[in-house]
Amino acid sequence: MTFDDFARLPVAWLDASGEQSAIVVSSRVRLARNLIHLPFPNRANKTHRQHLVKAVLEACEQNKQTKQLVFFDADGLNLLQQQVLVERHVMSPAMMTRNGARGVLVGQAGCLSVMLNEEDHLRFQAIFSGLQPQSAWQAISELQQVFAESLQFAFHEAWGYLTACPSNTGTGLRASVLIHLPGLVLTQEMDAVVRGITQMGFAVRGLFGEGTDALGNMFQVSNQITLGRSEQALLGMLSQAVAQLVECEENAREALLSSVRSKIEDKVWRAWGILQHARMLTSQEFMNLASAVRLGVGLKLIHQVSLQTLNELMVETQPSHLQFMLGRELEAAERDVFRADRVRQKLMPSG
Amino acid sequence: MTFDDFARLPVAWLDASGEQSAIVVSSRVRLARNLIHLPFPNRANKTHRQHLVKAVLEACEQNKQTKQLVFFDADGLNLLQQQVLVERHVMSPAMMTRNGARGVLVGQAGCLSVMLNEEDHLRFQAIFSGLQPQSAWQAISELQQVFAESLQFAFHEAWGYLTACPSNTGTGLRASVLIHLPGLVLTQEMDAVVRGITQMGFAVRGLFGEGTDALGNMFQVSNQITLGRSEQALLGMLSQAVAQLVECEENAREALLSSVRSKIEDKVWRAWGILQHARMLTSQEFMNLASAVRLGVGLKLIHQVSLQTLNELMVETQPSHLQFMLGRELEAAERDVFRADRVRQKLMPSG
């Protein structure tokens, strides 16, 4: 599978399957692992880094399942290609700015991936559609198990898995969900909800992780604690917190419908009208309009578009995907025109 | 024909027939006439006013054509009904605030009308679709001719027809066009154009006459001079000025298409998307969106809607028409919801 093949494949975790998929876009579980006898990437020299990549790729060959993973060497990808991987959430922005041997192993559907020489030697990741952190955990846990057969991960009896940053030590697990909370934003309850969730030991971030905005009312909720609890306990806590969030969001939506129904209908339908007809769309405006339409689908006001289509557009309308699809770099204004074209094509396939 | 019948009939001058109808909505000619031996309405007492109405209605009966006119006594209409007539441009806002016997004679299609005891005893009016001031003049001239057979109009050999306000004396004629100039507004040339047109002896006003805004880029251009020129000369001057305006507008549109085509397409199509889907529309927003769609139709970007439909909506979405159609008074927010319903029904008759 070439990079182009991969970048053109539909992303499986955007298919709106799984529980609560009208509100919970996806569930992601990440495991940090490091090899013994090799310094953490931040401390590693050129040779160490090359050694790590070589060791992991050799380990891949040992097993039928891991053999199917495809390795994209970061240095073998141009900037645009790297950004496409970032937009697909299989490569971190941090990896792009690093040096030395590094890259990412990906499964065909984009659900499973392993970053090599990012902050840790290996960062396993599974993303599943909807609210299913357990399934994601199971998939990624099995994958790291396969690697563990041929690689020796640094593990301390008292501390657990060792990681470059102490905040990840222990399980090395970070679980998160990407959740769409337009109701709580519209009822202005989001600040209070974020405070509550934070006190429960979770972090709330924007679409692309730490320090990014909650574009289109999309939030990432993830566990802060990695140490002193079992993986099952951590996942259980997250599922519970997310279930509460979903309930709050459903209540907010109901409250909106009963107090300002016309305004909500207007907001939702206008967004649908604009998405279908606009000839220029910034990515920020797209995300906000798509958020309103997604709310409309959730409220069963709009039946003309699927959650899957909206999810896919969220990835496909990002700057690097647009430029990759068109095969050339685009000025911001050209991108806005092409983004609007793309959205119209996808929303009105016949027109 | 009852008031309800009249208010439900399509307005003939909105059918987008006539020349230049993509830019010129309508042409209007008004003639002011007063009877001898009766004081002007401002000076008239109750009896004089009743006498005037009686005399005119008797004159109506003398002729087959005028017999078909229907009289709406202003005092026999409630506020909402009067406002419906104002929105149809057959009654002036000024007449609503006057006292004593007064009203309006209307022809079935709403093209011909005569206000009684407004500023003058009789104000004849013809409105025709598109750029056809000559046809409007001919129609209204013939109508006043018929009345002149049984009524004696005040006429002075040197000054011409006498009127309550000296600015109307002479021909008593005021001719105007309702013209849509979004191109000149977008290219910010409108101020310069208004200055030029004013220097040529024309007034430029908003949709509902003096002191009103140019909602939806709709302007009324009318002659200021009524004295010392023949009716034909006045109409010729107006036609010439309007032809120039149309040319300026066409140039502005062409300039926009060649310099900012994407922005114009975006503006036009968004407006179309919103009009088709919004669930709440203020009248101001409607006028602005309809203006953009009308521009899109003129530029042959949008083919899904006719100018006639847009013209009709311009009248039917006004507050009093909405309330009249629904048969009850509406709060502003309810009107916005019903306006949006009306617009959707009319734009998507099948949906």
Q: List, for residues A306-321, the tens digit of each pLDDT value.
A: 999 999 999 999 999 9
In our burial notation (b when 16+ CB lie closer than 10 A, e otherwise), range A278-305 reads: bbbbebebbbbbbbbbbbbbbbebbeeb
Is residue B329 classed as helix, strand or coil in its secondary structure?
coil
Domain ends where: A214, A249, A284? A249
Residue of B nearest to A334 (CA): B262
Q: How far does A127 lie from chain B, in Å, by closest CA?
A: 35
Residue of A nearest to B265 (CA): A279
Which DSSP string do the residues of B5-52 spell out, in sequence order? HHHHSPPGGGS--STTTTTEEEEEEEEEE-BTTS--TTT--HHHHHHH
Q: How far does A307 lie from chain B, in Å, by closest CA?
A: 20
Contact call for residues B5 and B107 (beta carbons, < 8 A): no
Residue of A nearest to B276 (CA): A273
pLDDT for the residue numbered A285: 95
B341 is written with which tokens? Answer: 């319903």
Residue of B nearest to A338 (CA): B262
From the list B269, B274, B337, the residue facing A279 with the nearest CB is B269
Q: How far does A335 lie from chain B, in Å, by closest CA?
A: 12
Q: Is the pLDDT of residue A211 over 80?
A: no
Domain of residue B164: give its range. 3-249
Asked whether residue A254 falls in the same domain as residue A233, the answer is no
Domain ends where: A249, A283, A304? A249
**Global confidence as pTM:** 0.90
In our burial notation (b when 16+ CB lie closer than 10 A, e otherwise), range B32-65 reads: bbbbeebebbeebeeebbebbbebbbebbeeeee
Q: How far does A191 lie from chain B, in Å, by closest CA?
A: 29
Asked whether residue A306 falls in the same domain as residue A217, the answer is no
Q: Is the minimum CB–CB distance between B278 and chain A shorter than 8 Å? A: yes
pLDDT tens figures, A151-208: 999 999 999 999 999 888 889 999 999 999 999 999 999 989 999 999 988 999 877 5
Residue of B nearest to A273 (CA): B273
Find residues 188-247 of chain A whose CB sits inside 8 Å of chain B: none
Asked whether residue B138 falls in the same domain as residue B282, the answer is no
A-B interface: how many C-beta pairs under 8 angstroms? Answer: 54
CATH number of the domain encompassing residue A213: 3.30.590.10
Percent of chain A with pLDDT over 90: 83
Asked whether residue A278 falls in the same domain as residue A241, the answer is no
Asked whether residue A240 falls in the same domain as residue A286, the answer is no
Q: Is the minimum CB–CB distance between B265 and chain A shorter than 8 Å? A: yes
Query: Span A39-57, mean pLDDT?
Result: 96
Q: What is the pLDDT along chain B (351 residues), one digit of tens a residue?
A: 899 999 988 899 999 999 999 999 999 999 999 999 999 999 999 999 999 999 999 999 999 989 999 999 999 999 999 999 999 999 999 898 888 999 999 997 889 999 999 999 999 999 999 999 999 999 999 999 999 999 999 999 999 999 999 888 888 999 999 999 999 999 999 989 999 999 988 999 876 555 556 789 999 999 887 778 888 999 999 999 999 999 999 999 999 999 999 999 999 999 999 999 999 999 999 999 999 999 999 999 999 999 999 999 999 999 999 999 998 889 989 999 999 999 999 998 654
From the list A262, A266, A277, the residue facing B269 with the nearest CB is A277
CA distance linking residue B287 with residue B215, whole number of Å: 6
Q: What is the DSSP letter of A94?
A: H
pLDDT for the residue numbered B208: 59
pLDDT for the residue numbered A351: 45
Backbone angles phi, psi at A26, to 5 degrees: -160, 160
pLDDT for the residue numbered B351: 45
Q: Nearest 5 degrees, angle CA B126-CA B127-CA B131? A: 125
Residues in chain B: 351
Smallest Cα–Cα separation from A124: which of A161, A96, A157? A161
Asked whether residue B195 falls in the same domain as residue B318, the answer is no
Smallest Cα–Cα separation from B107: which of B146, B77, B80, B78? B146
Q: Is the minimum CB–CB distance between B280 and chain A shorter than 8 Å? A: yes
Asked whether residue A164 falls in the same domain as residue A278, the answer is no
Asked whether residue A174 falls in the same domain as residue A197, the answer is yes
Q: Do A279 and B273 touch (CB under 8 A)?
A: no
pLDDT tens figures, B49-60: 999 999 999 999
Q: Is the minimum CB–CB distance between B270 and chain A shorter than 8 Å? A: yes
Domain ends where: A184, A216, A249? A249
pLDDT for the residue numbered B29: 96
Q: How far does A313 lie from chain B, in Å, by closest CA?
A: 19
Q: Is the pLDDT of residue A348 over 50?
A: yes
Q: Which residues from A are below 8 Å from B275, CB to CB?
A: 273
Q: Is the minimum CB–CB distance between A282 and chain B shorter than 8 Å? A: no
Inter-CA distances, A95 with A3, A123, A224, A343, Å:
17, 11, 21, 30
Q: Do A340 and B266 touch (CB under 8 A)?
A: yes
Asked whether residue A242 falls in the same domain as residue A264, the answer is no
From the list B262, B276, B333, the residue facing A337 with the nearest CB is B262
B225 is written with which tokens? Answer: 């001079």
Inter-CA distances, A238 with A195, A227, A314, B204, Å:
16, 15, 24, 66
Count of structural domains, chain B: 2
CA distance linking residue A288 with residue A180, whole number of Å: 11
Contact call for residues B87 and B208 (beta carbons, < 8 A): no
Asked whether residue B329 falls in the same domain as residue B241, the answer is no
Q: Which residues from B are below 8 Å from A272, CB to CB?
A: 273, 277
Asked whether residue A268 falls in the same domain as residue A182, the answer is no
Q: Mutate which of A270, A305, A330 to disrupt the B interface (most B C-beta within 10 Å)?
A: A270
pLDDT for the residue numbered A209: 57
B197 is written with which tokens? Answer: 């047109």
Lowest mean pLDDT among A7-11, A243-247, A258-262: A7-11
Asked whether residue A266 falls in the same domain as residue A134, the answer is no
Q: Do A273 and B277 touch (CB under 8 A)?
A: yes
